[in-house]
């Protein structure tokens, strides 16, 4: 072990001893860790929402391209340009494959978002239980309300 590992282990033991002697400080530490985790999760949630919005915009653009190339395929077939129509049809197939991949990516983002939301709800619930003796907390209740609202919005979007 290096001196840094020794120092870290010693500090960890001292912290455990201090927390065992001061349970109220341990509760404060847990609360702070929960708040830090919530802040991280909210940031992660915002990032996932931004990614999902970019994916949705990409899908809309892709759908527009697919419609355009389907019209071109029909136009080429009607004009008797079967070689060009086949190439355009193949391009439509490639675009549709891209669309399927993007839908799968969007679904994966939705699942990650739901997991983050679930963890946020769990943290809010745990904080509510740990502070049950402290009386009602507007901040805690508001955080739980926001998390529930966002989870319901996600469920509506995923239909």
pLDDT digits (tens, 9 = 90+) for 81-127: 999 999 999 999 999 999 999 999 999 999 999 999 999 999 888 87
Q: What average pLDDT is seen over the chain?
A: 89
More confident residue, 85 or 137: 85
State the pLDDT at residue 1.
72
Total number of domains in the chain: 1
| Residue 138 domain boundaries | 3-158
- The residue with tokens 């402290």 is 134
Averaged pLDDT, 134-145: 69
- Residues of the chain with pLDDT > 70, as a percent, come to 94
Q: Is the pLDDT of residue 56 over 90?
A: yes
**Residue 132 has what pLDDT?**
63
Least confident stretch, 10-14, 36-40, 136-140? 136-140
CA distance 69 to 65: 6
Burial code (b: 16+ CB inside 10 Å, e: under 16) for 114-147 equals eebbebbbebbeebbeeeeeeeeeeebeebbeeb
């Amino acid at each position: 072990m290096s001196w840094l590992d020794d120092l870290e282990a010693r500090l960890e033991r001292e912290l455990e001893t201090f927390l065992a002697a001061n349970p109220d400080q341990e509760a404060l530490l847990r609360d702070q860790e929960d708040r830090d985790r919530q802040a991280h999760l909210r940031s992660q949630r915002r990032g996932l929402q931004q990614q999902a919005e970019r994916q949705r915009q990409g899908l809309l653009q892709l759908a527009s391209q697919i419609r355009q190339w389907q019209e071109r395929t029909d136009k080429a077939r009607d004009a008797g340009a079967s070689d060009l129509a086949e190439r355009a049809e193949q391009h439509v197939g490639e675009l549709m494959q891209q669309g399927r991949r993007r839908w799968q990516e969007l679904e994966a983002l939705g699942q990650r978002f739901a997991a983050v939301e679930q963890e946020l709800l769990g943290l809010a619930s745990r904080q509510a239980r740990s502070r049950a003796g402290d009386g009602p907390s507007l901040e805690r209740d508001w955080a739980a309300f926001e998390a529930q609202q966002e989870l319901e919005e996600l469920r509506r979007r995923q239909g």
